[in-house]
Amino acid sequence: MSVPPHVRTSRTADPATGTRGPATVGEGTELTMTALTKTAGNEPEADAAASPAKKIEGRSLGQIAWTRFKRDKAAVAGGVVVILLILLAVLAKPIESVFGLDPDALNQDLLDANLGGLPMGDWGGMSADHPLGIDPLQGRDLLSRIIEGSWVSLLVAFGATLLSNTIGTVLGVMAGYYGGWVDTLISRVMDVFLAFPLLLFAIAISASLQGGAFGLHGLPLHIMVLIFVIGFFNWPYMGRIVRGQTLSLREREFVYAARSLGARGPFILFKELLPNLVGPILVYSTLLIPTNILFEAGLSFLGVGIQAPQASWGGMLNDAIKYYQVDPQYMVVPGLAIFLTVLAFNLLGDGLRDALDPKSN
């Protein structure tokens, strides 16, 4: 096969020796090799210029937990409902003032005297002015009373949760860290509180303090009594959870490191252990709040919680007992409010648990 002229080699004789020298590459070959070498040498630079390297960034534990939480659509929906409920409770009075809602206003003209004071029309008197209807016998707007009762239920639930979390966290972390007789004493106190018939005890205390106590009367007294009764007798549940977590954390390296540097018990408890207990405490709090809402509604339903004329979801259920056969709407509205609130908090709590503690799955 013939070689093209531009790559053909030639041997030339050396004038001094008369021998032929080594083969040389033609001029075309030198240009071609030079071009290939330059092209090959510039390819990495061209690729680097065309596609710059992506910056690798680390993520904090909070960002990782938020990413996990966003994947749980049910938990996100529950969180949205919880935020709306909190805003509704906080802004209950301004909302009533702006829209002219009065939970105690009587609408006797909307009641049918021939039917024993039942609302006129279908579905409990639902209309544009009263989207959720009115209550029998007095004709009060149910939407206004649901909004008015929301801040009471959430205030009692959050206050009781804060009280029980404070007591349970402090005693639980002390029992788990110190151990020995401290752990034994606190654990036995937890057992005593857990043995109390809480519902009967709460009914007795609430009923005995209805007239007045500690310089308080009326609604402030009822709220403070409910917060104290529900929160003070529920702290052992939080205490046991915190104690169990502390027993595990006290054997970790950072605790040994703090001890080796001369840190004493109080510093380790509140600076080293408590920050690592925020996750379990937050998760259990979101699961304890709906339980406290149900407890407050149950006491109000039994007549020893929030008293009339103040609107409360449990009190509305109590009033609806006499009319559930002829006006079921009156019972459905407060019952649905309690159901949606408890469901939203439970979904939020489950999502937070999965996001902050993926090993629980």
Could you read off the pLDDT tens digit of each residue along the chain, which spans 361 residues? 454 544 444 444 444 444 444 444 444 444 444 444 444 444 445 444 545 555 666 677 778 888 888 888 999 999 999 999 999 999 998 988 888 888 888 888 888 777 777 888 777 778 888 888 888 888 888 999 999 999 999 999 999 999 999 999 999 999 999 989 999 999 999 999 988 888 888 888 877 776 667 677 778 888 998 899 899 988 999 999 999 999 988 888 888 888 888 888 788 888 888 888 888 898 889 889 999 999 999 989 988 888 888 899 999 999 898 888 888 888 999 999 999 999 999 999 888 888 887 555 5
**Residue 222 tokens, joined:** 């009822």
Average pLDDT of the chain to the nearest whole number: 81
**Residue whose structure tokens are 């209950």:** 92
Q: Give the pLDDT score at 259.
A: 86
Closest CA to 157 of 149, 167, 147, 145: 149
CA distance 139 to 112: 10
- Residue 328: is the preceding peptide bond cis (ω within 30°)? no
Nearest CA among 173, 181, 161, 168 for reference residue 270: 173
Residue by residue, DSSP assigns 247-276 as HHHTTSHHHHHHHHTT--HHHIIIIIIGGG
Q: What region does 67 belong to: left with phi over 0, alpha with psi -120 to 50, or beta? A: alpha
The residues, any chain, with a CB within 8 Å of residue 326's CB and separated by 6 or more, are 115, 118
pLDDT digits (tens, 9 = 90+) for 30-53: 444 444 444 444 444 544 454 555
Amino acid residing at 214:
F
Question: What residue ranges in the chain does DSSP mark as E strands?
Answer: 111-112, 118-119
The residues pairing with 111 across neighbouring beta strands, listed in sequence order, are 119
pLDDT, residue 17, reads 45
Backbone phi and psi for residue 227, each to the nearest 5 degrees, phi listed first: -60, -45
DSSP string, 184-217: HHHHHHHHHHHHS-HHHHHHHHHHHTSS-BTTB-
Structure tokens at 14: 């050396």
Q: Please give the pLDDT value at position 205.
A: 80
The alpha carbons of the chain give a radius of gyration, in whole angstroms, of 37
Helix, strand or coil for residue 134?
Answer: strand
pLDDT of residue 26: 45
Q: What is the pLDDT of residue 355?
A: 84
What domains are defined for the chain?
149-360 (1.10.3720.10)
Model pLDDT, residue 339: 95
The vertex-301 CA angle with 298 and 304, nearest 5°, equals: 90
Tell me the per-residue pLDDT of 61-72, one tens digit each, with 9 for 90 and over.
778 888 888 888
